[in-house]
A = this chain, B = another copy of it.
Amino acid sequence: VSLESLLEEKIKELTKCGDGCPSPVTKTLSCTSIKASGRLASCPSGMAVTGCACGYGCGSWDIQNGNTCHCQCSVMDWATARCCQLA
């Protein structure tokens, strides 16, 4: 093996970063909204819920199963989960 290829191998191993992996330095926080009818709205796998919005002006909510917004007010027509990830 050449010194060059040995270097590349070693660096990839130690930084746990294979070919074409994005630089961690350039990662940013990226968020999107998932809206659903009813009182529940879930973030897709790999995203975290950072907050929720609810219909009928309701600001009472909790998170169920780690990734689902649950709007608590008695009557509810929609729920939105705000979902974020590093990307």
Find out whether the CB atom of B82 lies under 8 angstroms from the CB atom of A49: yes
Using A57-B60, A82-B63 as known contacts, say yes or no to A51 and B48 having CB atoms under 8 A apart.
no
When all copies of this chain in the complex are counted, the total is 3
Residues from chain B with a CB closer than 8 A to the CB of A8 are 10, 14
Report which A residues bind B (CB closer than 8 A): 3-4, 6-8, 10-12, 14-17, 21-31, 33, 35, 46-63, 72-73, 80, 82, 84-86
The main secondary structure of chain A at its interface with chain B is: mixed
Contacts A14-B8, A52-B53, A54-B60 hold; do A25 and B30 have CB atoms under 8 A apart?
Answer: no
Closest to A56 in B: B60
Q: How far is the CB of A33 from chain B (nearest CB, A)?
A: 5
